[in-house]
Amino acid sequence: MERFVGLIVAGGLALVAGLWLLALLELGAVGWMLGLALTVLGTGALGSGIASELDLEGEFGRRP
């Protein structure tokens, strides 16, 4: 499996798990803090996987 696919899948799973923990547990509980950490890490991994495949320069960013 390619690296960007792994990042997108793992990030998506971590994001969903973290959001479920945030929704189900009481604010400030240990599990809630774990959910917050999973949400942040999942969002970062998902964004990193997507950004690794984008061509940010494109045709207009190239200099002659």
Q: What would the pLDDT profile of 15-34 be if each residue is shown by its tens digit?
A: 999 999 999 999 989 999 99
Structural domain includes residue 7? no
Structural domain includes residue 29? yes
Structural domain includes residue 45? yes
pLDDT score at 12: 96
Structural domain includes residue 10? no
Structural domain includes residue 30? yes
User: 62 pLDDT band (50/70/90 cuts)?
Assistant: low
Domains contained in the chain, number: 1
Average pLDDT over residues 44-48: 95
d(C-alpha 33, C-alpha 13), whole Å: 17
On whether the CB atoms of residues 26 and 53 are closer than 8 A, the answer is no
Collect all residues with Cβ–Cβ distance below 8 Å to 64 and sequence separation of at least 6. Answer: none
d(C-alpha 18, C-alpha 37), whole Å: 7
Structural domain includes residue 61? no
Domain that includes residue 42, residue range: 17-49
Structural domain includes residue 11? no
Within 10 A of 35 (CB to CB), how many other CB atoms are there? 20
pLDDT score at 58: 63
Structural domain includes residue 24? yes
